Structure formats: structure tokens, C-alpha cells
Amino acid sequence: MQLAYASSLGIMKLVMQVRLLPTPEQAAALEATMYSCNEAATWVSQVAFERGQFKNFALRRHVYGVVKSRWGLGAQAAQQVIKKTCDAYASLKANLRAGNLGRPGSRRHRQATERPIAFRPQGAQP
């Protein structure tokens, strides 16, 4: 276990890194949740791309109920899926603005903007 202290405006925070040691059943449940969250995030990304809505609140109105019911996720997980998608589009926009993906019209720029963001099945989930 690692301990680190971070100070901001005189407020002290304690940050801990812990290692989970789940039982095989718990590990299977965690893995299934991770796959569901990433599959849901890819679907949310497609909806965001089609509608051109990349802000959390606007997107949440369209997808929150479906994410909860279709993938069986709880409220917090559904919110995180939507936030993860919005954050991915915000990062893409910042990279495009900074020129990190080439100039408009370049092959790399087109690849980044012509299709929705997809999430890896084993991608991290908060």
C-alpha cells in the first residue's frame, strides 16, 4: 500500500493505493461490469456522435435510462459511463485544437473525426 499527501489551498488529502484481492466469483462480476460499462460507453459515444451532443447534461437526458436498463448498470455506473464518454470527446477536441492529430483534411485528422469514439472492452472504468 502506498500513501501520498496532496495539499491544495491548505486542505490536506490522503491518497491511498490499494490492491483488491477478489474471490473468483467477485472477479468475474467485476470483469462483467467492466465489459458492460465499456460496451455502454461505446453506444453512448455513437449516440453523442449522431446527435452532436458532447456535454454531460444534454447527453444524459437521451441515454441515462437506456444505459441503466439495457446494460443493467446502477445509477453511479451509468453516470460514470456518460461522463467517461464526454471526457473522451473533450480530450479529442483539445487534441484537434492543439494540432496533435494533424491538420484538418489530413488522414489522421479525418480518422479521428469521421467516426464515433470506441472504447476497448477491457478499458479502465472509474
| Alpha helices by DSSP H, 99-122 | 107-113
Q: How much is the pTM?
A: 0.83
Quick: pLDDT tens for 38-68.
999 999 999 999 999 999 999 999 999 999 9
Quick: pLDDT tens for 20-31.
899 999 999 999
Distances (CA, A) of 114 to 19, 32, 50, 110: 39, 30, 11, 6
Quick: pLDDT tens for 83-101.
999 999 999 999 999 999 9
